[in-house]
Structure 1
């Protein structure tokens, strides 16, 4: 898990994992754990042992627990973009009409963006039909296939991201 060095109000420098922020104001000092909801605050002046390091230890323990219980945040887009000009689901474009060399009629397909954790996303085509064989049933069958491909890729991405996050948390 990524860490950074934080200098707190008294000049002490402490290495802190991501998802934990330092809060130093005139009225409070402590660590805020921001992973899932609700966020949790661990004050320097409360709990077993006082001070920034024991409070950070409590925040890291809570972070480990949340990571073990919750799926990892992925950043994958879930909702439709307001700029999208059709009602197709996220990650699916089309139908795209393409005239291939050597063919007498154009073909129609969907383009599907398949996210992969830790790698570039793949772009796959789902064939609908050519100009002569196009029907609403074939369109719907191809759309269902594209949606299934995208959903499976998102589930694998989520699983891989959660596994990686839990592995990194074990090293804290």
Structure 2
């Protein structure tokens, strides 16, 4: 888990884990936990930050609890971009028409982006058909395969991200 050092308005310094934000406004002083919903505010209960450390400790306890219960936020794109020019799901592009060297027939495929936690994503090609054998049924079957590949990769990514977050929070 990443930490940062925050200097409070009255000079005290605190090491703060990610997902915990400091709120200091005219009328409010405390820590806001931003992991899962709803967010939760832990007030210093004073304007001179004397309760800041105890409020931070309460926020960290709640953070540990939420990390144990909730899946980790991944940052993976879940919705199709508004500017995407087709109706394919996130992470799938195509159909791509190409002709391999030495072949006289063009073939179609989908390109699938497979995310991997802590590593570069993989790009896989899902064959649809050659230009001569292309059909709506083959397109649908290849699209189904591509969607399943992407879904499995997202699930593995989520599991790995959650395991890493839980391991990191154990060191808090």
Does TM, scored on the shorter chain, surpass 0.5? yes
Q: What residue number does 1:74 align with?
A: 74
Aligned residues: 169
Displacement of 1:28: 2.1
Whether 1:36 aligns to 2:16 is no
Shift of 1:24: 1.4
> Following TM superposition, by how much is the alpha carbon of 1:45 offset from its aligned partner in structure 2, in angstroms?
1.9
Distance in 2 (CA, whole Å) between partners of 1:25 and 1:100 is: 63
Unaligned runs of 5+ in 2: none
The runs of at least 4 consecutive aligned structure 1 residues that moved more than 6 Å come to none
Tell whether 2:77 aligns with 1:87.
no
Q: TM-score, normalised by structure 2?
A: 0.95
Deviations 1:87-140 (A, max 9, x none): 000000000000111111101100000000000000000001101111111111
CA RMSD of aligned residues (A): 1.1
1:18-167 alignment, distance < 5 Å: 18-45=18-45, 51-167=51-167
Q: How far apart, in 1, do the equivalents of 2:111 and 2:59 lie?
A: 44
CA distance in 2, matches of 1:23, 1:94: 46
Following superposition, the deviation at residue 161 of structure 1 comes to: 0.4
Q: Which SS does the other structure have where 2:129 is aligned?
A: strand
SS of 1:84 mapped into structure 2: coil
